[in-house]
C-alpha cells in the first residue's frame, strides 16, 4: 500500500505571510494528490488537487507543486488569513483490488495569527 | 458538485447501546463508500470500504461484528456501532467515490460520545 508522510505537524504564521506544507509518498504508481482542509468538528473539504501529469497547479492564493521523481508534493498558501486556520491533510491515491484508495498524511495544524 | 449528507452530526449514547450513522449521496450514485474514524489531533483512519450490494471490506484491527456497515443502495450507507463503549467515542466520517471519477467527497462527520 501507500505511505504518506506530512510535515510539519503544526505551523504558526503571521497573517499575510506564506505557509508551506510538504508531503512525501511511497508508491510511484500513485497519480492523484488531493489536499483537504478540515475545520474543527467538520469533515475534510477538498481545496486543491493535482494529477501526476502536471507539475504545478494554482487556484488564487493556493498552489500545489508535485515532483514525481522525488515523490513529494507541497501545498503553498500565500497571503494567509485567520480563516485559513485549520488542519490540512495531503493524500495520495493508490490502487488495489478494490480500485483506487486514498491514503492520508498525518495532518498539519495551521494557525494564522492576526 | 457531489454532496454527501451525514447524520447525525453528533450523538451521545449510553454504554452498551447501539448507534446508527447514515450517509447519503445527494446528487450522484456512490458505488463505493468509505468509513473513517478520527481521534483528536490525529489523521483519518480507514475502517472499512463498502460497495453497493456487497459485504464491506474491513481494515485490519476493525471488528466487523462491532461496526456494522450496510450499503444497500447507491445513495445510502450506514454504520452501526453496536454495544458501544467509551473507547468507541470518536469522530466518524464517511466518504464516497463518484462512479467513474477519481475524486472523493466527504460527509460532515459524526461526533460520537459514549458515556
Half-sphere exposure (Cβ direction) of A68: Cα atoms closer than 13 Å? 12
What chain B residue is nearest to A5 in terms of C-alpha separation?
B43
A109 vs B: CB within 8 A: yes
pLDDT digits (tens, 9 = 90+) for A22-62: 999 999 888 899 999 999 999 999 999 999 888 999 999 99
Contacts of B42 in chain A (CB under 8 A): 106-107
Q: What is the pLDDT of residue A78?
A: 98
Interface probe with B: pick from A1, A3, A29, A43, most Cβ of B within 10 Å: A43
Contacts of A54 in chain B (CB under 8 A): none
Beta strands in B19-100, from DSSP E residues, in sequence order:
19-25, 30-38, 45-51, 57-58, 67-73, 76-81, 90-98
Q: Do B42 and A107 touch (CB under 8 A)?
A: yes
Q: Which three cell numbers stand for residue A31?
A: 497519480
Q: Do B49 and A98 touch (CB under 8 A)?
A: yes
Of the pLDDT bands very low, low, confident and very high (cuts 50, 70, 90), residue B52 is confident
> Mean of the per-residue pLDDT values for chain A?
94
pLDDT digits (tens, 9 = 90+) for B91-100: 999 999 876 6
Q: Do B111 and A41 touch (CB under 8 A)?
A: yes
Q: How far is A78 from chain B (nearest CA, A)?
A: 24
Q: Do A44 and B44 touch (CB under 8 A)?
A: yes
Q: Compute CA A33 distance to the chain's CA centroid, rounded to the nearest angstrom.
A: 8
pLDDT digits (tens, 9 = 90+) for B70-86: 988 889 999 999 999 99
Amino acid at each position: 500500500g501507500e505511505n504518506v508522510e506530512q510535515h510539519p505537524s503544526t505551523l504558526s504564521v503571521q497573517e499575510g505571510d506564506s505557509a508551506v506544507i510538504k508531503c512525501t509518498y511511497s508508491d510511484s504508481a500513485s497519480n492523484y494528490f488531493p489536499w483537504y482542509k478540515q475545520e474543527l468538528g467538520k469533515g475534510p473539504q477538498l481545496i486543491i488537487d493535482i494529477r501526476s501529469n502536471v507539475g504545478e497547479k494554482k487556484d488564487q492564493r493556493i498552489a500545489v507543486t508535485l515532483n514525481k521523481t522525488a515523490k513529494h508534493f507541497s501545498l503553498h498558501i500565500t497571503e494567509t488569513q485567520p480563516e485559513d486556520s485549520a488542519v490540512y491533510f495531503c493524500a495520495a491515491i493508490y490502487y488495489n483490488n478494490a480500485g483506487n484508495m486514498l491514503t492520508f498524511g498525518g495532518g498539519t495544524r495551521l494557525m494564522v495569527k492576526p | 458538485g457531489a454532496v454527501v449528507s451525514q447524520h447525525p452530526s453528533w450523538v451521545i449514547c449510553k454504554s452498551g447501546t447501539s448507534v446508527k450513522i447514515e450517509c447519503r449521496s445527494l446528487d450522484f450514485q456512490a458505488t463505493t463508500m468509505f468509513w473513517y474514524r478520527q481521534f483528536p489531533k490525529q489523521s483519518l483512519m480507514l475502517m472499512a470500504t463498502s460497495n453497493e450490494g456487497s459485504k464491506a471490506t474491513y481494515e485490519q484491527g476493525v471488528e466487523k461484528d462491532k461496526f456494522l456497515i450496510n450499503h444497500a443502495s447507491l445513495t445510502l450507507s450506514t454504520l452501526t456501532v453496536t454495544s458501544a463503549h467509551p473507547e468507541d467515542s470518536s469522530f466518524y466520517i464517511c466518504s464516497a467515490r463518484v462512479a467513474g471519477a477519481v475524486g472523493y467527497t466527504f460527509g460532515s462527520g459524526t461526533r460520537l460520545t459514549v458515556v
